[in-house]
């Protein structure tokens, strides 16, 4: 393994924050800039983000992908990334931005929870190391508030830790793929990778269909568990993806 790889989440020219460094921030409807940042979003969705959102909306993962997202191939890894598509909303901006604010706020993605903090990650010999940055938008008045935070207290307040756990293995896969160059620029491969990570409803169907996907890799999980549990299916999808990309022996 190479010594490190900086993830696609590390933003340039932003203020670096140490874990104990404090910052002030409070966003609320009384601010003149309220929701302005949601009109020009660049939100990469993790598979866990999409799972939470599509369940909240009561639609399939395939429907969610079609209605609300766009796909781009990340140049360093050749892995497909899924973004919220601001141009699929008639008014422009985040497709979940309503007149009163975020319409999916209880299930908002990890990037929205962490804002105004952004996170960059490195893959080292000791594992993934995270770095934090403060994104101070010129028009944002939230920084004028007197509420003080550290990175840890902000993460806890925004419920970020649960979402970070759900996406952590996916993040490690991205970093490893950046080191190995394991992914071919092939449309069929890209479609398979999207299915394995983001389109869990389609993956569930393929597992149930004879010949849909090889079922030999089923290890501790029963097929019934994967059909019943989104959490188990997401864990399985990460293991399957690592087998496809890196030839994991456990698979």
pLDDT single digits (tens) 195-220? 889 999 999 998 888 777 765 556 55
Global pTM exceeds 0.75: yes
pLDDT range class, residue 191, cuts 50, 70, 90: confident
Q: What does the domain layout of the chain look like in residue ranges? A: 15-178, 184-246
Residues 6+ apart with CB under 8 A from 32: 141
d(Cα 83, Cα 67) in Å, to the nearest integer?
12
Q: Are 6 and 69 in contact (CB under 8 A)?
A: no
Q: Are 169 and 175 in contact (CB under 8 A)?
A: no
Q: What is the pLDDT of residues 48-57, one digit of tens each?
A: 999 999 999 9
d(Cα 167, Cα 162) in Å, to the nearest integer?
9
Residues 6+ apart with CB under 8 A from 239: 217, 219, 248, 250, 251
Q: Cα separations (Å) of 232 from 175, 210, 222, 235?
A: 23, 20, 10, 5
- β 127-134/15-17 pair status: antiparallel
- Which has more confidence, 112 or 210? 112
Going by C-alpha positions, the residue among 5, 12, 3, 46 that lies closest to residue 181 is 5
Residue 10: pLDDT over 60? no
Looking at the chain, which runs of residues are DSSP E strands? 15-17, 23-24, 44-45, 69-73, 80-84, 97-98, 101-102, 117-124, 127-134, 148-149
- Which has more confidence, 250 or 144? 144
Q: Tell me which DSSP letter residue 237 carries.
A: H
Q: What is the pLDDT of residue 8?
A: 45
Q: What is the pLDDT of residue 55?
A: 96
Q: What is the pLDDT of residues 56-68, one digit of tens each?
A: 999 999 999 999 9
Q: Tell me which DSSP letter residue 193 carries.
A: H
């Amino acid at each position: 393994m190479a010594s490190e790889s900086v993830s696609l989440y590390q933003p340039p020219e932003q203020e670096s924050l140490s874990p104990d460094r404090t910052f002030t921030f409070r966003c609320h409807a009384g601010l003149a800039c309220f929701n302005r940042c949601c009109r020009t979003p660049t939100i990469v969705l993790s598979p866990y983000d999409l799972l939470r959102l599509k369940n909240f909306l009561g639609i399939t993962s395939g429907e969610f992908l079609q209605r609300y997202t766009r796909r781009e191939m990340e140049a360093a890894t050749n892995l497909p990334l899924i973004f919220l598509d601001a141009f699929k909303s008639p008014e422009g901006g985040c497709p979940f931005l309503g007149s009163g604010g975020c319409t999916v706020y209880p299930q908002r993605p990890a990037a929205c929870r962490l804002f105004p903090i952004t996170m960059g990650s490195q893959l080292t010999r000791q594992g993934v190391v995270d770095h934090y940055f403060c994104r101070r938008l010129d028009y944002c008045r939230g920084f004028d508030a007197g509420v003080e935070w550290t990175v840890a207290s902000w993460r806890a307040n925004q419920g970020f830790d649960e979402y970070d756990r759900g996406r952590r293995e996916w993040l490690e896969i991205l970093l490893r793929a950046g080191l190995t160059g394991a992914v071919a620029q092939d449309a069929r491969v890209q479609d398979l990778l999207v299915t394995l990570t983001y389109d869990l409803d389609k993956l569930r169907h393929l597992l149930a269909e004879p010949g849909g996907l090889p079922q030999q890799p089923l290890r501790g999980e029963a097929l019934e568990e994967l059909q019943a549990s989104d959490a188990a299916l997401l864990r399985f999808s990460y293991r399957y993806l690592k087998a496809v990309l890196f030839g994991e022996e456990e698979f």
